[in-house]
Amino acid sequence: MWAVRVRRPASWCGVGLALLGQLAPFGPMRPARADARTREAALYPRDGRHEMSGEDHRRFPGAGVLWCRRPDGVPQKAAAAWLVGAPDLVVLNAHNFRDRRLAVTRPVSDCYFQIGGRNYEFVASSLRLGTAPSAKALHITDDWALLRLAGPVEGAPPQPVPEAPDLPTGPAALPVTMVSPGGHENYRGGSSLESCTIRQVDSPSEDAIRRVRHDCNDGYGGSGSGLFDEAGRLVALQSASLSMNSRRPFDAEFHYGSALLFEGELLAAIRAAVSR
């Protein structure tokens, strides 16, 4: 969890960023199972989440889970991750491995990718972070990373390479589905899917990528969830949400979820990796 202070205290799901784009310090991984105080909690008054079915997994191919080992060696769910464009290319959040000041929080070798009921090791040296070489901090719009797997995934097709979304900057009302293959700590199911809305598209920032603000429910473990449009196209990668478990209405300034669009340097990096 990341925690931030923006005019008044707020907490973030998975990774937190202040409204100016600064990341706050990274905390320890949450337990794989939620306790009674956070189960079936939500960010917004409406909670439409339900567990993914087999048909949902077919509709949204490439949906996987990042597992990482605790200091005692026990693996636990860390975040959502996506097989994209190739049977050995994974897209996920950079904050799984770096804090707001880009210090290493865990080695790639402590983690693995799970999809289709099988586990796959990463090639640790293949880590490609979204941050520029001169960057001093991690932000929403460069909170992405690519990793190669040691071997190709079998029996589970990748998500197609996304197309750059044709979305104007400014207020929006784009229906989306948030797909969270790893589920959320504040939801009982092992995975989560919800219909929700992108409410605003910010101006381009780091990596020529725009942040979108949405009203999708989120919880610990939801980082890296995919936002899909009504045509089933992957348009954005979840990074953070404000005011954990508060059940307050969406507010474009103080209570919203943040995701980064598949465009700019992220999309260019995916295309380059797939073409190799």
Report domain extents, the chain: 28-52+161-265, 62-159
> How would you classify the pairing of strands 145-148 and 128-129?
antiparallel
> What is the reported pLDDT for 30?
44
The CATH class given to the 62-159 domain equals mainly beta
Torsions phi, psi for 270 (to 5 deg): -65, -45
Token pair in block for residue 167: 């979305």
Task: Count how many residues are written for the chain.
Answer: 276
- 89: number of CA atoms within 13 Å, CB side? 17
pLDDT of res. 8: 32
Q: Where are the beta strands (DSSP E) in the chain?
A: 3-6, 8-11, 63-69, 75-83, 89-92, 111-115, 118-121, 128-129, 145-148, 170-180, 192-204, 210-214, 226-228, 234-241, 257-261
Residues of the chain with pLDDT under 50: 1-38
Rounded distance between C-alpha atoms, residue 20 and residue 15, angstroms: 14
- Check residue 134 and report its DSSP letter: T
Between CA 275 and CA 41 the distance in angstroms is 42
Instruction: Provide the CATH topology of domain 28-52+161-265.
Output: Thrombin, subunit H (2.40.10)
The predicted pLDDT at position 256 comes to: 87
CA 4 – CA 163 distance, rounded (Å): 32
Identical topology for domains 28-52+161-265 and 62-159: yes
Look up residue 38 and give its DSSP letter: T
Which residue matches tokens 């707001």?
A: 100
User: Containing H/E element for 81?
Assistant: strand 75-83
CA dist list (Å): 151 to 119, 160, 248: 10, 19, 44
